[in-house]
Amino acid sequence: MTYTAEDFSRIVDRLFMNVWKRNDMGEIAHLFHPDCRVHGLVPGESLNRDEYREAVEQYQQLARLHRYELLDVLFDGTDRAAVRLCLHLTATVAGITAPQDAMMFIRLKDRQVIEAHVQFDTLKYFELIGALPANSSFLLLAGHALT
């Protein structure tokens, strides 16, 4: 099957607009292949689409998506693409909205996501909402404990 960069853009748009923003969990069955595996949302775990839905629902209890920006789709001409996004989230407890950078590496099968690797820049997000001090990564690399 032949894919385009626009195919990946549409899937990511539907995922973040319908699932993450509008809370339409039924959309997951349309976007994700029955045999899909999602890596990185839960550290050390590989999620199927039902587990992915549960993880999204749990994440939404902690932070709500207000908007997102699809910054880049790096398409290799096959069934794979890398996507760079900026999510604007409000932390439920703190009530503070801040941007969170994210990357997704996606592979499609039958026009659905069969494999995804996701990475959210949670450290920077926690700094921006005041849960961690600024430049925490440098403090940690220098051997300083965050207390």
Asked whether residue 101 is assigned to any structural domain, the reply reads yes
Asked whether residue 114 is assigned to any structural domain, the reply reads yes
Asked whether residue 147 is assigned to any structural domain, the reply reads no
What is the residue range of 9's domain?
A: 5-141
Where residue 44 sits, what CATH number does that domain have?
Answer: 3.10.450.50
Q: How confident is the model at residue 146 (pLDDT cuts 50, 70, 90)?
A: confident
Asked whether residue 146 is assigned to any structural domain, the reply reads no
Q: Give per-residue pLDDT as tens, 30-54.
A: 999 999 999 999 889 999 999 999 9
Would the pTM count as exceeding 0.85?
yes
115-124-84 Cα angle (round to 5): 35
Asked whether residue 123 is assigned to any structural domain, the reply reads yes
Q: Give per-residue pLDDT as tens, 55-72.
A: 999 999 999 999 999 999
Tally the domains of the chain.
1
Asked whether residue 113 is assigned to any structural domain, the reply reads yes
Q: So what's the pLDDT on residue 1? A: 82
Judged against a pLDDT cut of 80, whether residue 147 lies above it is answered with no
